[in-house]
């Protein structure tokens, strides 16, 4: 997660106590339970094994896995190795970020019956330089690696091709996914049925953020700010900015599919617009249907809002990750995938 832009939103909303950026009551978060998906079971233990491996990689390479570092390269090797073991073709895409650091995206291709349509899932594998980046975002990578292993082991042939994108340099300018989108032709963009972003999915006691496809949460936010007596001139620029974030007509259907999943589990969700520009969803907005699974646990640390404990810090270790959150996010992604692959 590359969060600068949303800071203003959350600071503003914490001042005015919008529920979105407030820490939710503990009891509403205790409802997270392990769930099972018929016929296709994501294994949290396997995901945790990947997280241990990424933590070791960081430990052996100066404490981080940032783009262009030895830890970053070792992380890429780890992903490539697992894709090879699963028997899938990979494509490595090299690029340079704004700091002239070389990065590499890894795209794993799982062929479907029809090769025309693609369901694209992505997670960034680089960490910040300040820490090992286990929740942010080895967690998303571990989820996709487990998905890849399940598809391989169970010999599942999807209707549509599934591409798993492991992005580099998200933490420096969202550069990997941007380079990928830039290279796509109009026809290639059209072939992408959906982009599903997975970022920070190991957070304990999480608040579930779902991409707000029709931006309906902004109307609620506006209403609340008005009721609290805030002057229009003070909040309008911010809301206008969020409303101007590009969207696609297919976004809402994805939002509703995810909502249905969490609703069936009696879990609270938060419709979210701001984080769309702060992760690898950003380059895809308005171009293809987009959604994301992000788990936050926001708290004020002095004057600063921390999106999850140890966010962008050296202590973003496996200690911060709850296997139950990994399981929940994994099952949510599978639910989306099954629903998308039906038509
Ligand atoms: Zn981050």
Domains and CATH numbers, the chain: 41-342 (3.40.630.10)
At residue 2, the pLDDT reads 74
Measure 171 CA to ligand 1 centroid, in angstroms.
Answer: 6
At residue 306, the pLDDT reads 87
Measure 137 CA to ligand 1 centroid, in angstroms.
Answer: 7
Measure 256 CA to ligand 1 centroid, in angstroms.
Answer: 26
Q: What is the pLDDT of residues 158-186, one digit of tens each?
A: 999 999 999 999 999 999 999 999 999 99
Contact partners, residue 24, CB within 8 Å, separation at least 6 = 207, 268
Could you tell me whether strands 299-301 and 290-296 are parallel, antiparallel, or unpaired per DSSP bridges? unpaired
At residue 5, the pLDDT reads 35
- More confidently predicted of 67 and 221: 67
Measure 198 CA to ligand 1 centroid, in angstroms.
Answer: 12
Measure 115 CA to ligand 1 centroid, in angstroms.
Answer: 33
If you ran DSSP here, which 8-state letter would residue 25 be given? P
pTM reported for the whole predicted model:
0.89
Closest CA to 135 of 260, 304, 14, 316: 316
Measure 169 CA to ligand 1 centroid, in angstroms.
Answer: 10
Write out the two tokens for 278: 């702060």
Measure 230 CA to ligand 1 centroid, in angstroms.
Answer: 32
Measure 258 CA to ligand 1 centroid, in angstroms.
Answer: 23
Helices (H) and strands (E) in the chain, counts: 11, 10
Measure 193 CA to ligand 1 centroid, in angstroms.
Answer: 26
Q: What is the pLDDT of residues 8-35, one digit of tens each?
A: 343 334 333 333 333 333 333 333 333 3
- d(CA 335, CA 261) in angstroms, rounded, equals 7
Inform me whether the pLDDT recorded for 149 exceeds 50. yes
**From residue 130, how far is each of 55, 136, 149, 203, 275 by CA, in Å?**
13, 12, 30, 18, 21
Residue 59 DSSP SS3: helix
pLDDT mean over 144-156: 94
Measure 37 CA to ligand 1 centroid, in angstroms.
Answer: 29
Q: What is the pLDDT of residues 41-54, one digit of tens each?
A: 899 999 999 999 99
Alpha helices in the chain (DSSP H): 5-15, 26-29, 44-60, 70-86, 139-153, 175-183, 186-191, 216-227, 232-243, 251-264, 323-342
Measure 238 CA to ligand 1 centroid, in angstroms.
Answer: 23
Measure 139 CA to ligand 1 centroid, in angstroms.
Answer: 11
Split at pLDDT 50, 70, 90, the class of 98 is: very high
Measure 104 CA to ligand 1 centroid, in angstroms.
Answer: 17
Measure 170 CA to ligand 1 centroid, in angstroms.
Answer: 7
Measure 199 CA to ligand 1 centroid, in angstroms.
Answer: 8
At residue 23, the pLDDT reads 38
- Report the chain's mean pLDDT, rounded to a whole number: 89
Measure 135 CA to ligand 1 centroid, in angstroms.
Answer: 9
At residue 343, the pLDDT reads 76
At residue 38, the pLDDT reads 43
- d(CA 110, CA 125) in angstroms, rounded, equals 19
At residue 55, the pLDDT reads 98
Measure 322 CA to ligand 1 centroid, in angstroms.
Answer: 18
pLDDT mean over 283-301: 94
Measure 128 CA to ligand 1 centroid, in angstroms.
Answer: 6
């Amino acid at each position: 997660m590359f969060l600068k832009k949303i800071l203003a939103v959350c600071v503003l909303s914490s001042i005015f106590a919008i529920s979105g950026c407030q820490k939710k009551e503990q009891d509403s978060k205790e409802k997270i339970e392990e769930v099972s998906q018929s016929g296709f079971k994501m294994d949290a233990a396997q995901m945790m094994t990947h997280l241990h491996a990424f933590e070791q990689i960081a430990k052996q390479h100066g404490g981080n896995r940032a783009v262009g570092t030895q830890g970053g390269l070792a992380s890429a090797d780890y992903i490539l190795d697992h894709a090879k073991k699963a028997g899938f073709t990979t494509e490595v895409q090299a690029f340079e970020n704004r700091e002239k650091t070389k990065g590499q995206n890894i795209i794993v291709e799982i062929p479907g019956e029809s090769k025309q349509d693609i369901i694209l899932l992505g997670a960034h594998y680089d960490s910040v330089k300040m820490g090992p980046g286990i929740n942010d975002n080895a967690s998303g990578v571990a989820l996709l690696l487990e998905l890849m292993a399940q598809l391989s082991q169970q010999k599942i042939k999807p209707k549509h091709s599934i591409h798993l994108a492991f992005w580099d340099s998200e933490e420096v300018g969202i550069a990997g996914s941007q380079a990928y989108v830039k290279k796509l032709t109009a026809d290639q963009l059209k072939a992408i049925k959906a982009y599903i972003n997975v970022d920070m999915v190991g957070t304990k006691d999480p608040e579930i953020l779902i991409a707000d496809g029709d931006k309906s949460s902004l109307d609620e936010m506006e209403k609340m700010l008005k009721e609290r007596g805030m002057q229009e001139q003070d909040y309008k620029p911010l809301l206008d900015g969020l409303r101007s974030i590009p969207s696609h007509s297919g976004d809402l259907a994805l939002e509703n599919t995810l909502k249905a999943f969490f609703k069936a589990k009696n879990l609270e969700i938060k419709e979210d617009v701001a984080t769309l520009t702060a992760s690898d969803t950003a380059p895809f907005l308005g171009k293809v249907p987009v959604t994301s699974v992000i788990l936050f646990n926001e708290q004020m640390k002095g004057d600063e809002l921390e999106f999850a404990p140890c966010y962008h810090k050296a202590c973003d270790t496996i200690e911060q990750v709850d296997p139950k959150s990994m399981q929940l996010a994994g099952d949510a992604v599978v639910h989306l995938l099954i629903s998308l692959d039906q038509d």
